[in-house]
Structure formats: structure tokens, C-alpha cells
A and B are shown apart, each in its own frame.
Chain A
């Protein structure tokens, strides 16, 4: 892990929701900065408390975080999908009036905030512009929460079909006025489809949709270039993926599946982190209960037995998972700290734990 943080340009933390990606991303960023690198961590909508403790503003600007333990630099920014999307539109549209027209389109408003894929797109957009700025040695990207880890990689594909030239032409010119007779005949089917869509949704929807596609015409190629550049960066040798998972069987199964998919896609999976693998004070190896504890009969005794049994069983699942994965990449097990991590002190503590675990393995 330490070697990775010294050499990588980009580390992308992926994983399904609630496994502690944001905390892990922040912690390895601190670790990288403690190793003397200029690090930027980009996180998606962390809780307000983490935001205030890290001293981040609400406007999504990148802020420098100072701490005596940091020998390099540590910068942090919150990804604001709506704002990044709007910025992208303004840059791509070139003309102010055109940009404003798109920004006011009702469907654009829905698209930039709620559409599946828009968060992922903006995360990658922010990553790439930070990379291009060359202000940082290492960028850590905390990806948006998804139900499944794999959703993050599929999202840009989903979004880019929207900007496919064919779809746009179809909406910009539904009557086929610009086409010749033969082309017109070929498009009869498409017109029929449009009619059906209209009967399903109403003419107002179709009107907004057509308007939307007409307006984004100018920045389609820019978006596609951007997507291609981001893809090149993500499959590059100095970009590493770090899969964060939690300690339950379904999540581990998903992690296994994801690690296969990620390799298939040509990305480098460089480490798997199993977060909250066991409570720090109840390491199954260190705390084998004595016979005396086993025979106690108070409610507390039975709770102790239940808990240790439970974590020992989980540890078995975890070992078989690590054995399966170890041929592909290293697996780090992190304990659950004694208190919640909700401030910079907690993040630093986690960074220390990762350093220790990383050295051991």
C-alpha cells in the first residue's frame, strides 16, 4: 500500500455504498501526504461534519488542509455534480446565450441532478481536470455511492449513449426535413417510434427532449473526447483501483465478481481493503476466551460468547476470500475503530492503522 501511494498518479476507491469508501479515501490521502507527496482527495458529498472538520467550503472549491504530520501537501474537494455539469456546459457551449438556454432546459435540470450516471460523469470530469492541472502528484478519487461496485464503471457508457450522434440527429430532425427521399423512407420506422413515445409521454415531453438535443449538439464531440481521455487515464499504468468492501458474505461475493470485471475492463486492481473486519478491541486471534469465561452464566458472558463466535466465523469467511483473491492482488483487513470516524483526528488514526497493516502484509 505504501509503495502504491508513493508511485501512483491516481487511486480510485470503488465499492458499494456504506462500506466506508470516503473514510478510506481520506485516510490514504493523509498517508500519501505524510509520505511527502502533493495529494488531492476528491470526495462525493460526505456528511456535513466531515466537511466542516476537513475545513471544506460549500461551493465545492478545493481547500488545503494543514497538519503538522503532513510533509507534503493535502488538498480536499467535494464533488458537486450540478455545479460541475453546469461548468462543463458553459465551457463546451462557448456562446453564453447557448449555455444559458441549455441550463434552463427542464430536462437538463433533471439530467444534471438526478440522472443515473451524472454523478459518475462529474466525478470523472473533476478527476481529469485536476489531473490536467498538474498541481498534484497523487489524486485520490472517492467514487459516488452505488448499490453495486460495478455500477461506477458502467455509468459513463450509459451516459455517453445519450450523446451519440445518431440519437441527437433523430430528435433534432424528427420530421426528416433535411434528408433526401430515400433516407426519409428509411426513417419512417423511427418516426413511428417517436409517435409511440409521444403517446406514452405527451407532446410537451417530446418538445423538451428535442429542444435539449438541439442545444447539446455543439458540445457532443467535446464530451466524447473528454470521455475518451478519462478512459485513457483510468486504464493507464499509473492509475490504480482500490476496492473497499465490508465484512459480510454478500459483499465479499460482490467484491470477487468486481475484481474479475475490473480486470476484464483493462483496469488495474491493486488492492482490496476489507473495512471494519473486526472490532479493534475484539481481534479474534488475540482474544481467545478462557474456559472460565465460557462457563460463566450471566447475560454478559453469553453476549461475549456470541460476539467472539460471530467474529471467529466471519474471520473464516474472510480467510477463504483472501486466499481466493491473493493470486490477483493483496487484501488488507482493517479493524473497526473504537469510536466513529467523524473528524480529522479519526482520519489520521485510520491512516496510522493502514500504515501498520500495510507494512505487516
Chain B
């Protein structure tokens, strides 16, 4: 079982990278689920799908996509625990419960993480028949809050089933044989600064070393930039040389934090599927 979390600053291309990861694993023959979080689907716009919801829909061979909302995850977990349908109905159709679930501190976050980590070794709730789950996770600050939720709750609520669940979710998140964390950034100042901070937060919270992905790098080699070019391309050539130099500096900065760094190329395609298919060829293996 492999669970891959993709995070990073907003706008760095997390969703496309997550989709590329999922497609890459599916093409390697693994049953893969691409997961997005929240109440509204991004992938339905991105892939032009009519419907992305809690129940996975098939996207490509071996590849399904689902939208996990806190409410739906909690509902499933509650049904699993309460078992009796009628009691469960009383519970969930109560107006107060509905309102509470929307806002109760950390409950939706916990339910989502509970669902993602419901496979072995925890084996909670209905079985999810996947070898690999790729999570298009929240951006930096919100992601930190997400991975801290089980620890924080387990400390606040020491007794009872909630505390137990929190501890077991936390243990899976810390297990580097199951969970991997990829921090996406761009060869630009602010995304790199945020990526470095986020990576050290992940490491200090979970004790797992995340991997950096420097996205949208120039798809050209250094040596290809030093030929004699016709006059009208010389300004462009100079600009590309400068940009490649910047990229190298950013790569070095990410590496000095003692993390693994992979470069992902900018894909000059407008069609999302073409972007994801091309990017899938560049994705690092486990």
C-alpha cells in the first residue's frame, strides 16, 4: 500500500502533478485512486467530467477519482460504528448534528484522514480496493493543520474511541513505508521559500522526510542553450540562459535543506489530459 500526499503553495500545479502521479502508478499496473479534498471538485472542471463525488468514478484503466468531503467521510465512519441504520438516521438527520459536523473543530479533517488511511494496517470501515492512493492535498498552511489534527486531538481527548482513532491515524501518517509526502514548488522565490518551510514542518510533525518537486522547469538542457543562434533569437537565448541559471540556484536551495529534489518540466500544452500524460512520464518511482 502506498499513500502519496501532494502539497505546496497555491498555484504551483499540485492538482496536475497529483493526477500525473496517479496516472504513472496506474500505468505501472497498480490499482490507483486519485483523491481530491473539499466540498467542490476541481477535477470535474479540469478533466471535463460530469460528476466527481465521494464514490470513486473510473477515469482510465486502473485509475479512479473521488472527492472526499469531511461530511461524507464522517457519515461513512459513523455508519460503520453505529451499524444500526435507524439510529444513524436519527443522528444524521438532526439539524443540530448537521450544523455541528460542518464546523466542529478538526472533525472533518480527522474523518478525511481516517478514510484515506482506512486500509491496512488499520482496516477500519469498508475496504478500498486500491494499491495506491494519491491525494491532491491542501496548500501549505491548511496541510500543516491537517497533519497536525490527529496529534492535537489525541492530546486534547485522551480517552474514548476518538482518541484511539486519532492515535492510529497518526501512526500511519508517520509510517514512511506507507505514506510519502511531495512538496511542489516553482523556480520562483515565494514558492521555494514556502516549500522549504513546509518541508521542515512536515519533518518535525511526522518525522518523515518529504521530497521536493520543482515544477515547470525549462524543458531544455544547458548545452542546447549555447549554440550560435540567428540574430532574432539571441535575446530569447539570453533570457533562457538566465532562467536556467535561476532554476539551478533554486534547486541548490532546495537541496541544501538535505531533501531529495526532482525537476519536473513545464509542459507547453493547453489540453489538461496532454499535460498530465506528458508529466506522468517524468514522475519519480517509489
Q: Is A185 an interface residue (CB 8 A)?
A: no
Contact B46 A250 (CB under 8 A): yes
B29 CB to nearest chain A CB (Å)? 29
A138 CB to nearest chain B CB (Å)? 26
Q: Which of B95, B100, B269 has the most CB of A within 10 A?
A: B100
- With contacts A147-B138, A199-B161 known, is A304 near B272, CB below 8 A? no
Residue pairs across A and B with CB atoms within 8 Å: the count is 188
Contact B145 A150 (CB under 8 A): no
Residues of A within 8 A of B153 (CB): 110
Contact A303 B87 (CB under 8 A): no
B113 CB to nearest chain A CB (Å)? 13
Identify which of A117, A145, A147 contacts B103 (C-beta below 8 A).
A117
Residues of B within 8 A of A150 (CB): 40
Contact A200 B45 (CB under 8 A): no
Interface of B is mostly: helix
Residues of B within 8 A of A299 (CB): 220-221, 224-225
Nearest B residue (CB) for A19: B11
Contact A300 B229 (CB under 8 A): yes
- With contacts A201-B161, A296-B233, A304-B236 known, is A193 near B94, CB below 8 A? yes
Q: Is A162 an interface residue (CB 8 A)?
A: yes
Q: Is B286 an interface residue (CB 8 A)?
A: no
B217 CB to nearest chain A CB (Å)? 12
Q: Is B239 an interface residue (CB 8 A)?
A: yes
Q: Which of B57-65, B104-112, B127-135, B206-214 has 4 or more CB atoms under 8 Å from chain A?
A: B104-112
Q: Please report the total number of A residues contacting B with Cβ < 8 Å.
A: 71
Known: A19-B11, A145-B10, A340-B189. 15 other contacts (CB 8 A): A17-B139, A110-B106, A114-B106, A148-B38, A148-B42, A159-B103, A190-B94, A200-B82, A201-B161, A205-B157, A205-B160, A250-B46, A296-B230, A300-B227, A342-B189
A residues lining the B interface (CB < 8 Å): 16-20, 45, 47-50, 106-107, 110-111, 113-117, 145, 147-148, 150, 158-159, 161-162, 164, 166-167, 170, 189-190, 192-193, 196-197, 199-205, 208-209, 246, 249-250, 253-254, 281, 290, 292-293, 296, 298-301, 303-304, 306-307, 309-310, 313-314, 317, 340, 342
